[in-house]
């Protein structure tokens, strides 16, 4: 026995109408939201924490960023200080030099920069023949 075709068509159309109402609510007339405004802040300097660690205390120690000497006196390891870095957009060059007393074995110095709002970066350099003279570039991408 076969069904009555006009009733079957009516039920099929009724099913599509019942499904169309919630779908139109989900996909239809929505008000567009305004995109969040992202301000690109081009600051001239960034506040940063500088941490310097070493195994053997050096006789002389110099850490310069943008021709500004950061170390006033040599203290016990670690040395922590706060400074302003020039714009970190292109990276920061740190000039590090140190000398140790005669007879000191090759030793390492670890320099860590932690600018506000950016990830911490750390670099370790080893001395040779009791001295170290390096330019270390820190980059944030």
Say how many domains are in the chain. 1
Domain that holds residue 101: 45-138
User: Quick check: is 131 in a domain?
Assistant: yes
User: Quick check: is 91 in a domain?
Assistant: yes
User: Quick check: is 30 in a domain?
Assistant: no
User: Quick check: is 77 in a domain?
Assistant: yes
Which pLDDT tens digit goes with each residue over 42-58? 556 788 888 999 888 88
Which letter does DSSP use for residue 107 in this model?
-
Cα–Cα distances in angstroms (integers) from residue 44 to residues 47, 88, 89, 117, 135, in the given order: 10, 9, 10, 15, 22
Which pLDDT tens digit goes with each residue over 11-69? 999 999 999 988 888 887 667 777 766 555 455 678 888 899 988 888 898 888 888 88
User: Quick check: is 12 in a domain?
Assistant: no
């Amino acid at each position: 026995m076969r069904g009555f075709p006009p009733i079957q068509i009516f039920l099929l159309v009724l099913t599509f109408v019942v499904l169309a109402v919630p779908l139109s609510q989900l996909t239809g007339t929505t008000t567009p939201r305004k995109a969040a405004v992202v301000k690109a802040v081009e600051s001239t300097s960034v506040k940063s924490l500088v941490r310097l660690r070493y195994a053997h205390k050096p006789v002389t120690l110099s850490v310069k960023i943008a021709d500004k000497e950061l170390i006033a006196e040599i203290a016990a390891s670690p040395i922590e200080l706060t400074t302003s870095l020039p714009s970190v957009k292109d990276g920061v060059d740190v000039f590090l030099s140190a000398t140790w007393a005669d007879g000191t074995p090759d030793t390492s110095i670890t320099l860590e920069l932690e600018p506000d709002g950016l990830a911490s970066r750390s670099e370790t350099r080893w001395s040779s023949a009791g001295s170290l003279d390096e330019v270390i570039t820190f980059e944030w991408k």
